[in-house]
């Protein structure tokens, strides 16, 4: 495909802060950069899908910005650009896939049809992704399962960036937890949140923009509240949401997607990183449940009862998780997305001179 990397005829004056790109152009840029740096076609396609999805859904911290980290991780020797995942069937309802130190996306795509098949035949199935480099939002792993009519959960550790409640030193990762519930004729009910107060990418974007972070996001090296993004990222620690409750959930994620699937904790991942500031290495646990197998003849009625819950939430003026993301998706499909000029320039700089 010879899509243009940048919409030159539509580019704004150099002094403006953003570039408007179509999703096709975002994909072309991501694909060109990944291919230039030697990623194999399966990894180029799968990683580009993730980056485009992040921009499409208004999740800038997991969009094109992550392309810079992908290349930095490759240059540090912390990810394989052409890894071929190996799938292992552990039991009738259990799968593990070894990502072979590649990004998680290709390993997940390899295992996904088997996970869906096992969930439908057994009623519930679990997949452990091992030895994967992980940078993406978990909703991207949940959506294919809800699209298949399954209930789904996923979690993964990261690097040790987050202090436990009452602590002052990094121990946990941001340790996201995601859940999805299928809805007939409507977008799925999906939430995906870090067990830290905010995703680390949000703090990184504040640092890039030279903006202070809100109180409660992080602490400095002395354990004191800090609003300087660079200090929190480089010398301090992030905080869990909800104090001890968020810390307990973060510990649960460490256990489920670490020792339970024989993979790294966030402390292990940070040690493996050895100061390169690469994307985290470790595991991911995904559980898929088939409501039709669980409920049998009651399935239709119980799914309707679930809809009454969603209607009651909306009836009080609440917003369902992912509603903002779905609205952003509709808008970006029509109008494209705005990319900070500095980020666009950094991404283009990863191409050979004169390629853009």
For residue 73, give every residue at least 6 positions away whose Cβ sits within 8 Å of its Cβ, in sequence order, or none: 79, 133, 135, 276, 278, 279
Q: 202 catalytic, yes or no?
A: yes
User: What's the count of helices (H) and strands (E) in the chain, helices before strands?
Assistant: 13, 12
Neighbours of 120 (CB within 10 A): 16
Q: What backbone phi and psi angles, to 5 degrees, belong to 244?
A: -65, -25
Burial class of 313 by CB neighbour count within 10 A (0 to 12, 13 to 18, 19+)? middle
Cβ–Cβ under 8 Å, residues 110 and 85: yes
* Three-state secondary structure of 252-278: HHHHHCCHHHCCCCHHHHHHHHCCCCC
Catalytic residue among 55, 202, 204, 284: 202
Cβ–Cβ under 8 Å, residues 32 and 5: yes
**How many whole angstroms separate alpha carbon 75 and alpha carbon 320?**
40
State the maximum Cα–Cα separation within the chain, in Å, rounded to a whole number: 62
Catalytic residue among 62, 134, 159, 206: 62
Catalytic residue among 36, 45, 61, 168: 61
**How many whole angstroms separate alpha carbon 92 and alpha carbon 151?**
18
Of the candidates 141, 168, 173, the one whose C-alpha atom is nearest the C-alpha of residue 154 is 141
Q: Which residues pair with 87 in a beta bridge?
A: 97
Q: For the CA atoms of the chain, what is the radius of gyration?
A: 20
Q: 62 catalytic, yes or no?
A: yes
261-271 per-residue burial string, b: 16 or more CB within 10 A, e: under 16:
bebbbbbbbbe
Of the candidates 1, 102, 82, 2, the one whose C-alpha atom is nearest the C-alpha of residue 38 is 82
Neighbours of 107 (CB within 10 A): 29
CA angle 210, 64, 49 (to 5 degrees): 160
The residues annotated with a catalytic role in the active site are 61-62, 202
């Amino acid at each position: 495909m010879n899509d243009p990397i940048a919409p030159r005829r539509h580019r704004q004056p150099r002094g403006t802060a953003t570039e408007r790109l179509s999703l096709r152009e975002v994909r072309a840029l991501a694909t060109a950069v990944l291919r230039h740096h030697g990623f194999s076609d399966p990894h180029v396609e799968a990683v580009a899908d993730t980056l485009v999805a992040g921009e499409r859904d208004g999740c800038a911290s997991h969009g094109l910005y992550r392309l810079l980290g992908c290349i930095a991780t490759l240059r540090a020797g912390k990810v394989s650009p052409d890894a071929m995942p190996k799938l292992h069937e552990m039991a009738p309802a259990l799968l593990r896939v070894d990502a072979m130190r590649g990004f998680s996306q290709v390993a997940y795509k390899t295992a996904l049809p088997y996970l869906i098949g096992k969930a439908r035949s057994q009623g519930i199935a679990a997949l452990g992704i091992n030895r994967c480099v992980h940078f993406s939002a978990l909703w991207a792993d949940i959506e294919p399962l809800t699209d298949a009519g399954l209930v789904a959960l996923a979690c993964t550790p990261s690097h040790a960036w987050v202090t436990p409640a009452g602590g002052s030193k990094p121990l946990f990762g941001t340790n996201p937890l995601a859940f999805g519930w299928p809805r007939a004729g409507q977008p799925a009910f999906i939430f995906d949140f870090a067990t830290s107060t905010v995703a680390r990418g949000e703090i990184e974007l504040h640092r890039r923009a030279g903006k202070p972070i809100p109180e409660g996001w992080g602490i400095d090296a002395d354990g004191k509240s800090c609003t300087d993004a660079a200090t929190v990222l480089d010398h301090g620690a992030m905080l869990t949401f909800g104090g001890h409750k968020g810390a307990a959930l973060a510990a649960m994620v460490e256990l489920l997607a670490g020792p339970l699937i024989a993979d790294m904790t966030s402390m292990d991942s940070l040690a493996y990183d050895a100061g390169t500031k690469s994307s985290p290495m470790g595991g991911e646990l995904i559980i898929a449940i088939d409501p039709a197998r669980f409920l049998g003849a009651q399935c239709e009625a119980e799914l309707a009862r679930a809809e009454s819950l969603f209607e009651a939430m909306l009836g009080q003026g609440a917003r369902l998780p992912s509603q903002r993301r779905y609205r952003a998706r509709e808008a970006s499909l029509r109008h494209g997305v705005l990319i900070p000029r500095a980020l666009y320039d950094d991404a283009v700089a990863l191409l050979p001179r004169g390629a853009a």
